[in-house]
Amino acid sequence: MNGWILAATVALGAGVGTALWGVATGPLRRRVVAQNMSTALVCPALLLLSQGYTRPSYVDLALVLALLGPVGTLVFARLLADELADDPPRAWGVTWAVAGFGAVVVGVVSAATGPSRAMVKLLVIGALLIGGNVVASRALSGGFRGVGRG
């Protein structure tokens, strides 16, 4: 057990635990936000675990999750558009807090990696993670209502 694994355990236990509780209980507006936050928390946890176990392949999992998590949320935002329009989620505090956590984790892991191609990959993952989750949160709260529904 080192500091990286400890931090990942805290992120998974406290963060993802809370997110799962939010997905399983409460009104729809809380569930969709918690669903979005769960992938946004697992991705930094995977980066911490890859550093803790020195297994670079975990970084690829984080990359896939950073890409597919927000895409999954966009599918929910589209399918539940009518229900969410009546009672739209307003969770910018949580969104920016989790985005900040992701930024801190990416920054620290990048600093530990040192300037290399691996660091650029981490920064790409961080940009995808934060950008994707901010866009997904905006879609959930009805920020793209002008977009045609096909």
Partner 1 sequence: MNRRTTLLIAAEALAWWCALAALWLVLISTVDTLELVVGASAAGVAALAATAARRVVSAR
Considering beta carbons, is residue 89 or 126 the nearer one to partner 1?
A: 126
Q: 């895409």: which residue's tokens? A: 71
- Least separation in angstroms between residue 121's CB and partner 1 is 5
Q: Which CB atom, from 117 or from 149, has the smaller least distance to partner 1?
A: 117
How many other CB atoms are found less than 10 A from the CB of residue 131?
A: 13
Least gap, CB of 147 to partner 1 (angstroms): 12
User: Using CB under 8 A as the criterion, which residues of the chain lie in contact with partner 1 when the complex forms?
Assistant: 56, 63, 117, 120-121, 124
Q: How far is the CB of 43 from partner 1 (least distance, A)?
A: 16
Nearer to partner 1 by Cβ, of 26 and 56: the residue is 56
Smallest distance from partner 1 to CB 120, Å: 5
- Between 3 and 107, name the residue whose CB sits nearer to partner 1: 107
